């Protein structure tokens, strides 16, 4: 009986950690808000253990066992309440989550059996006290369960990667294109697919699927008659891009640029550069071709240093951008290709950065046989990718949804685009997340740039103080509001956006932010 109570109680107290692990990509907890949530869950488990121990000591073991179900309900309620405020997207009951819970059940059961043996060894006098003590071990049991589940998960992941490689190897005529960079990957992927579709049957990885698991799902969903597969390749550490390249063996690549993104896991900008360079390094080893956005310093350096066939887009090169005219309705520009062809383009996409992304996609498309006139037609029909400089009308208010953008280059580009709009401008931002040791500096600089474009600034979450310091240092004279989280910011919108013509919602967050 004691073992059963301990097992169920520990498992309930471990649930917040299992949900946290899922939202953190089944990795150790790193970012500030995740650690804060983990600490609150640990303290709650310790509090439950303390209350249970006091009940067992002063009111008897039966009192503890009567209270135990309420402790379990409390732990589950804590999980639900905290995750509503903590997570951008709620946890899901996936196969991997179920396997983690099964691993947790095994660990908790082992602890429960140990507690019962200990209680029996003490003559059952302190059975309630031993049972209460297991609550304090719930956080540790969750981490042990995660560690125990990893070998099996690696084996499962390896199986899906092998299946992915076999599926692609069975299509030797398929042209596989990989796109990497610190920003703009999804947009460039969307634009390139639209351009190539005028000549080929194209399949692009959906949404923002850019991890090994996402690529495996994409390959499994690929139509049998696809001639070109475009894969978006993400990274959080060195080796991630090389891992996906090994899976899909691309022969063509595009690099959008290098920026201070995911520094919490990369550690430095040089590591970001090295990770993105893994794509041209792979192409060099396999006789491939890579296109670079040379308006970005990191991509320009990579272009100069790479050993593969290299093409460039930007102010000059294989696809030069000329005659740019920007407005709140989009832009007009000319793309001049190295063979002398010219594409006179108009687009509804906002900002200079989107034109650079279009040029990079056009550089690759033209090299693969798409004519300038076909590129012009494709550009005219382009729509922004969801949550990436997406224009939304809400009555008299224009909303620029750039909520899936989380690096300093992307933020600056969004602010530049906001400056094209007339009237009173508001920005809601949560700052640069996963900035690691550079987080305070990056958010201070964001605040300084924000001061130049916003009449109303809403700083959200734990980075708000650094953003506010940056605003103050730039002599910001507009209205400033601080919000605890996204829900708090939404409540502010009802009162602080009076008279605002355009609202920029800026910055992507990990699920656990």
In a domain, 163, yes or no: no
For residue 499, what is the domain's CATH number? 3.90.190.20
Query: Per-residue pLDDT tens for 368-391?
Result: 999 999 999 999 999 987 888 888
Lowest model confidence (mean pLDDT) among 140-144, 178-182, 291-295, 502-506: 140-144
Tell me what pLDDT residue 77 has: 65
Give the pLDDT score at 513.
36
Angle subtended at Cα 34 by Cα 387 and Cα 111, rounded to the nearest 5 degrees: 135
Q: pTM of the entire structure?
A: 0.84
Query: Rounded distance, CA 353 to CA 362, Å?
Result: 14
Least confident range from 22-31, 173-182, 278-287, 499-508: namely 22-31
Query: Is residue 235, in this structure, part of any structural domain at all?
Result: yes
Helix axes 138-169, 95-121, angle to 10 degrees: 150
Coil, strand, or helix at residue 399?
A: strand
| Residue 166, domain member (yes or no) | no
**Domain annotation covers residue 249:** yes
402 and 293 both lie in a single domain: no
> Residue 486's pLDDT is what?
78
Helix, strand, coil fractions of the chain, as percent rounded to 5: 55, 15, 30
Same domain, 290 and 348: yes
The answer to whether residue 513 sits within a structural domain is: no
pLDDT band at residue 506 using 50, 70 and 90 as cut-offs: confident
User: Can you say whether residue 203 is alpha, beta or left, with left for phi > 0 and alpha for psi between -120 and 50 degrees?
Assistant: beta
Q: Does residue 483 register a pLDDT over 70?
A: yes
- β-strands 342-347, 390-394 pairing: unpaired
CA distance 328 to 391: 10
Instruction: Kindly tell me if the per-residue pLDDT of 42 is higher than 90.
Output: no
Of the three residues 95, 128, 155, the one that is the final residue of a domain is 155
Under the phi-then-psi rule, with left for phi > 0, alpha for psi from -120 to 50, and beta for the rest, what region is 207?
left
Helix axes 127-136, 95-121, angle to 10 degrees: 150
Judge if 180 and 313 occupy the same domain: yes
pLDDT at 230 over 60: yes
Which tokens belong to 394? 């809400």
Q: Say if residue 411 is in the same domain as residue 452.
A: yes
C-alpha dihedral, 190 to 238 to 446 to 402, nearest 10°:
20
Sign of torsion over alpha carbons 159, 164, 167, 168: negative
- Within a 13 Å sphere around the CA of 216, how many CA atoms are in the beta-carbon half? 14
Whether 320 and 180 share a structural domain = yes
Verify that 41 and 94 share a domain, yes or no: yes
Q: Between these two residues, 264 and 271, which has the higher pLDDT value?
A: 271
Is there a single domain that holds both residue 12 and residue 151?
Answer: yes
CB 433 within 8 A of CB 463: yes
Q: What is the pLDDT of residue 511?
A: 40
Domain count, the chain: 3
Say which CATH number the domain at 260 has.
Answer: 3.40.1190.10
Identify the band that residue 13 occupies on the pLDDT scale cut at 50, 70 and 90: confident
C-alpha distances out from residue 400 to 71, 346, 426, 429, 504, Å: 45, 20, 10, 12, 5
Looking at the DSSP bridge assignments, the partners of residue 504 are 400, 427
Per-residue pLDDT reduced to its tens digit, 68-109: 555 556 666 666 665 555 555 667 788 899 999 999 999 988
- In this prediction, residues 323-337 reach a mean pLDDT of 96
pLDDT at 510: 42
* Residue 165 covered by a domain: no
In a domain, 164, yes or no: no
Q: What percent of the chain stands above pLDDT 70?
A: 81
Say if residue 108 is in the same domain as residue 247.
Answer: no
pLDDT tens-digit series, residues 151-194 = 999 999 999 999 999 999 999 999 999 999 999 999 999 999 99
What is the distance between the alpha carbons of residues 168 and 247, in angstroms, rounded to a whole number? 9
Query: What pLDDT, on the 0 to 100 scale, is given for residue 162?
Result: 95
Report the pLDDT value the prediction gives residue 133, as an integer from 0 to 100. Answer: 65
Distance CA 310, CA 457 (A): 42
Residue 494 in this model has a pLDDT that exceeds 70: yes
Cα–Cα distance between 503 and 396 in angstroms, integer?
11
Alpha helices in 1-60 (DSSP H): 2-23, 32-59
CA–CA separation, 448 vs 454, rounded Å? 11
Q: Which of 125, 155, 185 lies at the terminal end of a domain, its last residue?
A: 155
Q: Which domain holds residue 107?
A: 2-155
The C-alpha atoms of residue 41 and residue 138 are separated, in whole angstroms, by 10
Residue 342 sits in the same domain as residue 254:
yes
What is the per-residue pLDDT for 396?
87
**Which of 208-222, 277-291, 485-499 has the weakest average pLDDT?**
485-499
Same domain for 59 and 105, yes or no, is: yes
Contact (Cβ atoms closer than 8 angstroms) between residue 348 and residue 191 = no
User: Which string of b and e fits 28-58 if b means at least 16 CB within 10 Å?
Assistant: ebebbbbeebbeebbebbeebbebbbebbee
The per-residue pLDDT for range 417-461, each reduced to its tens digit, is: 999 999 999 999 988 887 778 889 999 999 999 999 999 999 998
| 3-state secondary structure at position 91 | coil
Predicted local confidence at residue 487, as pLDDT: 79
Residue 297 has phi, psi (to 5 degrees) of -60, -45
Contact indicator for 261, 182 with CB cutoff of 8 Å: yes
- What angle (nearest 5°) sits at the alpha carbon of residue 219, between those of residues 162 and 291? 105
Q: Please give the Cα distance from 272 to 240 (Å, whole number).
A: 11
Same domain, 237 and 295: yes
Would you state the pLDDT for residue 462? 86
Claim to verify: residue 350 and residue 418 sit in the same structural domain: no
CA angle 399, 428, 406 (to 5 degrees): 95
Decide if pLDDT at 44 tops 70.
Answer: no
The overall average pLDDT reported for the chain is: 85
Domain end: 103, 121, 155, which one? 155
Q: What is the pLDDT of residue 439?
A: 86
List, for residues 403-427, the tens digit of each pLDDT value: 887 778 888 889 999 999 999 999 9
What integer is the mean pLDDT of 254-271? 90
The model's confidence at residue 512, banded by pLDDT at 50, 70 and 90, is very low
Inter-residue contact 407 to 388 (CB < 8 Å):
no
Say whether 407 sits in a helix, a strand or coil: coil
φ, ψ for residue 240 (rounded to 5)?
Answer: -65, -45
Element (H, E) at 511: none
Would you say residue 58 lies in a domain? yes
Q: Cβ(257)–Cβ(298) under 8 Å?
A: yes
- Let me know: does 14 contact 142? Beta carbons within 8 Å: yes
């Amino acid at each position: 009986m004691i073992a059963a109570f301990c097992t169920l109680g520990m498992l309930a107290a471990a649930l917040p950690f299992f949900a946290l692990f899922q939202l953190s990509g089944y990795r150790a907890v790193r970012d500030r808000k995740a650690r804060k949530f983990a600490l609150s869950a640990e303290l709650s488990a310790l509090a439950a253990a303390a209350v249970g121990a006091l009940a067992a000591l002063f009111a008897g073991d039966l009192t503890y066992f009567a209270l135990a179900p309420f402790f379990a309900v409390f732990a589950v309620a804590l999980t639900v309440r905290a995750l509503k405020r903590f997570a951008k997207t709620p946890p899901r009951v996936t196969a991997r989550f179920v396997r983690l819970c099964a691993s947790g059940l095994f660990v908790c059961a082992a602890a429960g059996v140990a507690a019962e043996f200990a209680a029996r060894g003490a003559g059952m006098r302190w059975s309630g006290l031993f049972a209460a003590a297991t609550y304090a071990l719930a956080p540790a049991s969750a981490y042990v369960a995660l560690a125990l589940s990893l070998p099996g998960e690696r084996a499962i992941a390896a199986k899906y990667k092998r299946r992915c490689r076999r599926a692609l190897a069975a299509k030797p005529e398929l042209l596989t294109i990989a796109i990497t960079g610190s920003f703009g990957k999804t947009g460039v992927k969307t634009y390139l697919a639209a351009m190539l579709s005028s000549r080929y049957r194209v399949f692009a990885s959906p949404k923002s699927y850019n991890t090994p698991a996402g690529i495996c799902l994409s390959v499994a969903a690929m139509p049998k008659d696809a001639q070109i597969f475009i894969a978006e390749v993400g990274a959080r550490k060195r080796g991630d891009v090389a891992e996906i390249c090994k899976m899909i063996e691309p022969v063509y690549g595009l690099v959008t640029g290098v920026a201070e993104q995911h520094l919490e896991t990369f550690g430095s900008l040089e590591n970001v550069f090295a990770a993105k360079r893994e794509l041209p390094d792979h192409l060099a080893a396999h006789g491939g071709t890579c296109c670079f956005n040379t308006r970005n310093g990191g991509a320009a350096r990579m272009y100069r240093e790479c050993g593969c066939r290299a093409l460039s887009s930007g102010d000059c090169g294989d696809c030069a951008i000329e005659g740019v005219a920007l407005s709140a309705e989009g832009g007009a520009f000319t793309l001049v290709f190295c063979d002398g062809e010219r594409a006179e383009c108009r687009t509804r996409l906002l900002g200079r950065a989107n034109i650079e992304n279009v040029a990079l996609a056009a550089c690759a498309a033209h090299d693969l046989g798409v004519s300038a006139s076909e590129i012009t037609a494709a550009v005219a029909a382009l729509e922004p990718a969801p949550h990436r400089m997406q224009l939304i009308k809400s009555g008299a208010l224009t909303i620029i949804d750039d909520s899936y953008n989380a690096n300093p280059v992307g933020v600056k580009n969004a602010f530049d685009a906001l400056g094209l709009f007339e009237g009173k401008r508001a920005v809601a931002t949560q700052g640069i997340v996963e900035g690691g040791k550079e987080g305070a500096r990056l958010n201070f600089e964001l605040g300084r740039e924000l001061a130049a474009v916003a009449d109303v600034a809403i700083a959200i979450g734990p980075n708000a103080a650094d953003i506010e310091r940056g605003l103050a240092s730039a002599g910001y004279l507009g209205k400033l509001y601080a919000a605890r989280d996204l829900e708090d910011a939404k409540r502010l919108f009802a009162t602080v956006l009076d008279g605002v013509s355009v609202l920029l919602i800026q910055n992507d967050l990990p699920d656990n932010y």
